[in-house]
Amino acid sequence: MRPVICWFRQDLRLADNPALAAAQADGSPIVALFVLDDETPGIWRAGGASRWWLHHSLQSLGDSLEEIGGSLVLRRGRAESVVCGLADEMGAKAVVWNRAYEPYAIERDKRLKAALLARGIGAESFGGSLLREPWEVRTAAGTPFKVFTPYWRAGFAQWQPSPPLPAPTSLRSALADIESENLADWNLTPSNPDWSGGLRTAWHPGEPSAQFQLSGFLARLSEYAGSRDAPAAAATSRLSPHLHFGEISPRQIWHAVSSQPPSSSAEKFLSEIGWREFSHHLLFYNPQLPHAPLDPKFAAFPWSSDAEKFVRWTRGRTGFPIVDAGMRELWATGWMHNRVRMIGASFLVKQLGVDWRRGAEWFWDTLVDADLANNSASWQWVAGCGTDAAPFFRIFNPVLQGEKFDPHGAYVRRWVPELQLMPDEFIHKPWTAPSELRKGAKSYPEPIVDLAAARARALEAYRSLSAP
């Protein structure tokens, strides 16, 4: 029988994988393919932390396929050419894949489908990365949503997805000896220097680890609503990188959480899954989301070009402990607590006046869960220029935010060891501590901005947008 190529992308799992299930449906031999595509026009090349994760996730997927009789074929290059070339090489009868929603991926997949059909090769895509397709949730007028709450209520509040598909227990693999590249030759992991030690300590990529992470979160789900904003608490799911790489599906998570007793925590967590869906909804209908403000007046915003302040922000040397703790956690582990992401992003955009796109690019390179839709929508939200944005004049005070969400400084002390001995009352504003206490933290920098003056500058810059 002619084989079917199952093209893995952001769905590096066996369970609840609609494309893989379709490939198996008629008993045809299957070629499992992954393409490292850094060449498609418009592509967002994965950042360093994401490439580290991808390496280990592909290792895990390859192991899982071998356990059921398959193997993972690795190819590198422009995906259209690689997929069509392999289909010709194998005499494939069809190619199947799960959809991706980045603008370049949508255009690439359209071209690929046309090229395959022109060859007489079947081509079919499936919905495996979202709960609902972006075009399935619309306003009563038939237009895309621009605000999250009505989007959530209209599309998800009273809705249940179909049950997840089981993982296959065996795979009929194509018999031919198919050439595959060596994963190590792709150099996805850093070596000179190897900065990934913190990532290895913090994470275990792969589908089995994603399921383990979900099980652990369900055991502490009841704590979520009350503790999710406390960065020192282990209350969040930490499923975001597993979700981004498709090691677990949103449908699996939804059903697992929905199977628990009803609670405010379960409801709140599912709404966060909804925010991920909404971000993809925004990106689908606004392909300029990663690089242009959705509110056009922000195109003229007078951003600062102070390179030194940006570098100090990236290194966690701003002099504001909650911001610096977050940026150091990010550099060490490839992840940052969501509340601290908002605080750190607001500080960069509003107190330092730096263009939100520079922050988004830094997150893209350093986050293991870097997702184009989530990253872009969230930075536009913080910057006040998105469709469902926090107003620009809502400016987080990093001292007050620290005192509210890390009142005893446990999070700060973990990531800013210079302040280990600083009493709670000064932990978020160490520059106000008595001189004898400050001597013990002399390696910690002074604040790089005056908060009151920075707030005034931000508001003045905002007012200039609507000035005649």
Catalytic residue among 39, 107, 133, 272: 272
- DSSP characters for 229-273? T-TTS--S---HHHHHTTSS-HHHHHHHHHTSPP-HHHHHHHHHH
Instruction: Give the Å distances, CA to CA, from 140 to 85, 158, 214.
Output: 45, 16, 35
Q: Is 431 a catalytic residue?
A: no
Tokens, residue 282: 């925004």
Catalytic residue among 186, 195, 275, 331: 275
- The answer to whether residue 159 is catalytic is no
Active site residue 272: yes
Point out which residues pair with 36 in neighbouring strands.
76
What SS3 class is residue 94?
strand
How far CA 325 is from CA of 46, 79, 119, 164, 403, in Å, comes to 25, 39, 55, 38, 14
Query: Is-catalytic flag, 415?
Result: no
- The edge-to-edge listing of strands for the beta sheet with 30-36 is 72-76, 30-36, 4-8, 94-98, 122-126
Catalytic residue among 44, 379, 381, 415: 379
Is 338 annotated as catalytic? Answer: yes
44, 254, 335, 356: the catalytic one is 356
Task: Tokens 């300590």: give the residue.
Answer: 201
Other Cβ atoms closer than 10 A to 427: 24
Q: CA–CA separation, 29 vs 19, rounded Å?
A: 14
Q: What is the signed CA dihedral for 52, 56, 57, 59, rounded to 10 degrees?
A: 140
Active site residues: 272, 275, 303, 338, 356, 379
